[in-house]
Amino acid sequence: MRDGNRIKAKGYKAQPSNHMTSANDYKQLLQRLRAGLPQTQAKSDWFEVPKAELKILGRKTSLENFGDICELFQRKPQQLYVYLTKKLGTAGNLEDHKLIFNSVVSQTQIDSALETYYQDYVKCPVCGRPDTTLVKKGRVTYIKCMACGAESPVKSELR
Ligand SMILES: [Zn+2]
């Protein structure tokens, strides 16, 4: 009985007394390391939304680099086609890698629609990278990020 008590007391004394100090040192080291690293946020700047290449065909407008834009955004032509025609309020047709709008559309209109699409449907809101796919769950569309794994519901969905 007396022996058991003595062992317990010994065990208690054996705990390291400098535990707090080394944890603080580690925290300070981490802070110093973080301060020296470049801002990770700046990485989103390397992706540039492409400018639309337009050709006016009488009363129609051809988006010449539609195929390239789909590839860059990693979106199916159908997805971007539906978005652009709804956003610009005009009908259109897909003709080998081009989108032909049935009206005259300005450069500014298409460029701003592409920028909005990128911000709302392509860019990961968590890490800012463009390597994403769209996943539909019920009535909600999510942006699934290949870089960080986040799934974020799209901000404003056109129906
Ligand atoms: Zn991400």
CATH number at residue 83: 3.30.30.170
Q: How many CB atoms lie within 10 A of CB 80?
A: 23
Model pTM?
0.70
Residue 36 lies in a domain: no
Q: Strands 140-145 and 132-137, how do they pair?
A: antiparallel
- Spacing, Cα 142 to ligand 1 middle (Å): 12
Residue 148 lies in a domain: yes
- Spacing, Cα 56 to ligand 1 middle (Å): 38
Torsion of CA 103, 89, 130, 111, to 10 degrees: 50
Residue 117 lies in a domain: yes
pLDDT tens-digit series, residues 104-138: 999 999 999 999 999 999 999 999 999 999 999 99
Rg (CA), the chain: 28
pLDDT tens-digit series, residues 23-51: 677 677 667 666 665 455 444 457 899 99
**Contacts made by residues 90-96, CB under 8 angstroms, sequence distance 24+:** 94/66
- Spacing, Cα 45 to ligand 1 middle (Å): 14
Write down the pLDDT at residue 67: 97
Write down the pLDDT at residue 102: 98
User: What domain range includes position 62?
Assistant: 45-153
- Spacing, Cα 121 to ligand 1 middle (Å): 12
